[in-house]
């Protein structure tokens, strides 16, 4: 995945036509599109191939099972045309290894959730987030998911993993995080959903966030 706009669209709509229209509209402002349960359950797995025409696809199935089941899920995801898969880290090293093995067979990437962005993310996951980040680094994952709602946690996690892994960060806009703050804290990409797909003009909304990130990177943020 190329780091250009530093933004990933979370396309959590449930209508195929709407999904394709938004993807086409905002493709120049995003480096990837994250597709998860809302869209895939509503429209079918084939939507991944249709959207791949506009940008690389990250399949957000937060895979969280025993190694064998994880292996079977990841195989389906990559056969469907996804460029990367998101998996949970709390299931442990063997479950994560199974995903990374399948990803390397397909030459695709694995992102590991270390800590979640919503308030409940601080209840159980945050206390083990740093250990999950270390494990993901040792296992050879491509990247981590860390919360844009807590830039100080992104900073801490970046310190732990150094430059070895990428960080994608959800929670910008609707959940209260600011794209420029999270990029400044060390995230490679921000993930933005509702602030773009629910905007009256998704293209304008994406363009504004992209401009904010650009200004931050130029040191004008």
DSSP character at residue 114: -
163 is catalytic: no
> Which of residues 113, 135, 187, 213 is near ligand O7E by CB under 6 A?
113
170, HSE (Cβ side, Cα atoms, 13 Å) = 21
62 is catalytic: yes
The nearer residue to ligand O7E, 7 or 20, going by C-beta atoms, is 7
Within 38-97, the residues that bind ligand O7E by CB under 6 A are 60, 86
Distance CA 194, CA 24 (A): 16
- The contacts of residue 8 (CB under 8 Å, 6+ apart) are 30, 31, 32, 33, 34, 58, 168, 189, 190, 191, 192
121 binds ligand O7E (CB under 6 A): yes
Distance CA 41, CA 184 (A): 35
181 is catalytic: no
187 binds ligand O7E (CB under 6 A): no
Q: Where are the beta strands (DSSP E) in the chain?
A: 7-10, 32-36, 57-63, 84-88, 109-113, 143-145, 166-170, 189-192
* Active-site residue, selected from the candidate residues 62, 75, 156, 203: 62
The nearer residue to ligand O7E, 98 or 193, going by C-beta atoms, is 193
Distance CA 123, CA 183 (A): 25
Could you tell me the smallest distance in angstroms from the CB atom of residue 194 to ligand O7E? 3
Cβ-based neighbour number of residue 165 at 10 Å = 21
**Piece of the chain touching ligand O7E by CB under 6 A; list 98-106, 128-136, 172-180, 211-219:** 172-180
> Which of residues 56, 89, 173, 202 is near ligand O7E by CB under 6 A?
173
Q: What are phi and psi of 92, to 5 degrees?
A: 105, 170
**Piece of the chain touching ligand O7E by CB under 6 A; list 77-85, 111-119, 151-159, 180-188:** 111-119
**Binding site residues, ligand O7E, CB under 6 A:** 10, 12, 36, 60, 86, 113, 116-117, 121, 145, 147, 168, 170-171, 173-175, 191-195
User: Which of the residues are catalytic?
Assistant: 60, 62, 65
Q: Which segments are annotated as binding site?
A: 12, 34, 60-69, 117, 170-180, 193-194
């Amino acid at each position: 995945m190329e780091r250009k706009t530093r933004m990933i669209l979370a396309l959590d709509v449930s209508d195929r036509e709407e999904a394709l229209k938004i993807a086409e509209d905002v493709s120049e402002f995003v480096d990837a599109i994250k597709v998860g349960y809302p869209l895939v359950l509503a429209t079918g797995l084939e939507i991944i191939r249709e959207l791949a025409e506009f940008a690389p696809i990250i399949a957000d199935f937060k895979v969280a099972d025993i190694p064998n089941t994880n292996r079977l899920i990841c195989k389906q995801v990559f056969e469907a045309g996804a460029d990367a898969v998101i998996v949970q880290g709390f299931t442990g090293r063997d479950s994560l290894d199974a995903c990374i093995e399948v990803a390397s067979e397909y030459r695709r990437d694995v992102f590991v959730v270390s800590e979640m962005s919503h308030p409940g993310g601080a209840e159980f996951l945050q206390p083990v987030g740093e250990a999950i980040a270390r494990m993901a680094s040792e296992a050879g994952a491509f990247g981590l998911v860390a919360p844009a709602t807590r830039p100080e946690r992104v900073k801490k996690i970046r310190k732990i993993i150094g430059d070895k892994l990428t960080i994608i960060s959800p929670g910008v806009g609707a959940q209260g995080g600011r794209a420029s703050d999270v990029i400044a804290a060390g995230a490679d990409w921000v993930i933005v959903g509702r602030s773009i797909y629910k905007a009256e003009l998704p293209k304008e909304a994406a363009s504004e966030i992209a401009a904010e990130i650009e200004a931050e990177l130029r040191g004008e943020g």
